[in-house]
Amino acid sequence: MKQFTLLLLVFISSSLFAQKKCEYSTNVRDSIGTYKQTKEYIVYEKNFAGNKNYIFFSLSLTDGTPNLNLQFIQKSKEFMKVNCFDKNSKIFFQLSNGKIVTLLHIDKMDCGTSVRDNEGFDNRVLSGTFMFLKGSFEDLKSSPVNLMRVKYLTDIEDYIFRKEFTSEMDNQVYQPESYFMNYLHCIEN
């Protein structure tokens, strides 16, 4: 009986901490090199008073170099503050084990683009690519993320990551806290 209970506990714990299956939006290998990118994943969503904010992550591997691709989408009928990425921009992840992991923005200035839709909403899209520092993979794979701090050109903003939420946009369940634990293996060499 003890062996059965032990076997059941091992099975349950392994299924709870299993990594997710890798799904790629791009996976190319040619004479120039290799590039693969995971599908976008919502890690933050805030809908309040007619304003909508979304943050999407995807992971990419370009010729052996892993990156985090970040996309912010804002939708509003009111004035929206413009944030820009520059060579000094960074992302800081506070992990539940107390560690802080820093990612560096590639050296490219970007303030996003704005588009007005048919419903009179202004939509601002800001994208950035961030590089992992040596040793950051193991920390991100071993502990959930509680908070993301983004250092823009002229501002710093914090985003609290939830354990799980159902998106109002696509009605899917997302687990932002464990994103790296679930998907970093998709871009490991």
Domain boundaries, the chain: 23-187
Q: Which helix (H) or strand (E) holds 29?
A: strand 24-29
- What are 71-96's pLDDT values in tens digits? 999 999 888 888 999 999 999 999 99
Distance separating alpha carbons of residues 86 and 35, to the nearest angstrom: 24
Spatial separation of the C-alpha atoms in residues 85 and 103, rounded to whole Å: 13
**Token pair recorded at residue 168:** 């109002």
Q: Are 28 and 34 in contact (CB under 8 A)?
A: yes
In the predicted model, what is the mean pLDDT of residues 141-167?
96
Q: Return the H-helix or E-strand segment holding 62.
A: strand 51-62
**pTM of the entire structure?**
0.85
Specify whether the CB–CB gap between 38 and 22 falls below 8 A: yes
As a whole number of angstroms, the distance between CA 58 and CA 47 comes to: 22
Q: What would the mean pLDDT of 4-14 be, rounded to a whole number?
A: 41
Residue 18: predicted pLDDT = 57
Determine the average pLDDT of the residues in 165-189: 94
Instruction: Please check the confidence at residue 128 and state whether its pLDDT lies above 80.
Output: yes
Q: Is the pLDDT of residue 8 over 70?
A: no
Low-confidence winner among 10-14, 26-30, 71-75, 131-135 (lowest mean pLDDT): 10-14
123 alpha carbon, distance to own chain's centre: 20
Extract the tokens encoding 162.
């939830």
